[in-house]
């Protein structure tokens, strides 16, 4: 190799190295922005698959099912179970896995967002419509604690509008709830049907002795 060719090779390698560094920096910044926008900053650091301790069989099955979904997060996932069984932990771990691949995720905590999506005093129509449109059209949406604390007719109307849109447009949607499938149907059969149809389901039941068991 001539001196000129050696110099050209060194220049090429330097250029490729700098380009890779620039690409990685941009990816890191996009990830940071996506995490900040998602609204789960601290939780994403703490609630990972590695930090989810699975000692019982139902925990191992639930974790494995959620990890499998995280590998190919298409369509819908429903994680149902009583308070304290680890629903939010597993769903947050899925969100982290999706974000790590550069896919944006929006987070909707039901009991905090529902009033901002209804036409009530104190909420500007433009602000409400913009937020609803974001939740409707985002690539991946995580709805946490759906119908926790109950649901009025107005709440159900809002959630039907959101869930029906994502159902019809086949948007990836993750839903956690303390309600059983039967209870979801009792709240609103149309919403329950759209969530359940074609969704991967992790249903954790609560037994009288306070041990949980899984139903897939």
Q: Tell me the H-state helices in 47-152.
A: 57-71, 87-100, 110-113, 125-137
**Rounded alpha-carbon distances, angstroms, from residue 58 to 31, 40, 65, 69, 117:** 32, 26, 11, 17, 36
Question: Do 140 and 73 form a contact (C-beta atoms < 8 A)?
Answer: yes
Say if residues 200 and 91 touch (Cβ distance below 8 Å): no
> Does residue 118 register a pLDDT over 60?
yes
Which residues pair with residue 175 across a beta bridge? 78, 143
pLDDT bucket at 31, cuts 50 / 70 / 90? very low
Q: Over the stretch 70-85, which tens digit does the pLDDT of each residue have?
A: 998 888 999 999 888 8
Q: Is the pTM of this model over 0.85?
A: no
Residue 123 is classified by DSSP as S
């Amino acid at each position: 190799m001539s001196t000129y060719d050696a110099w050209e090779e060194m220049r090429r390698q330097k250029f490729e190295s700098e380009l890779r560094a620039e690409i990685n920096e941009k990816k890191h910044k996009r990830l940071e922005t996506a995490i900040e926008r998602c609204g789960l900053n601290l939780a994403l650091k703490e609630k990972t698959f590695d930090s989810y301790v699975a000692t019982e069989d139902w925990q191992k099955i639930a974790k494995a099912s959620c990890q499998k979904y995280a590998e190919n997060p298409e369509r819908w996932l429903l994680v149902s179970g009583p308070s304290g069984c680890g629903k939010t932990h597993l769903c947050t771990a899925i969100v982290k896995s999706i974000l790590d691949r550069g896919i944006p995720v929006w987070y909707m905590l039901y009991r905090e967002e529902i009033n901002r999506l209804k036409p009530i005093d104190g909420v500007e129509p433009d602000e409400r419509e913009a937020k609803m449109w974001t939740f409707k059209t985002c690539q991946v949406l995580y709805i946490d604690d759906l119908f926790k604390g109950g649901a009025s007719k107005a709440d159900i109307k809002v959630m039907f509008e959101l869930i029906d849109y994502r159902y019809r447009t086949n948007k990836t949607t993750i839903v956690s709830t303390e309600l059983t499938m039967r209870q979801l149907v009792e709240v609103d059969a149309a919403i329950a049907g759209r969530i359940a149809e074609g969704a991967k389901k992790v249903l954790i039941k609560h037994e009288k002795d306070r041990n949980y068991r899984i139903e897939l």
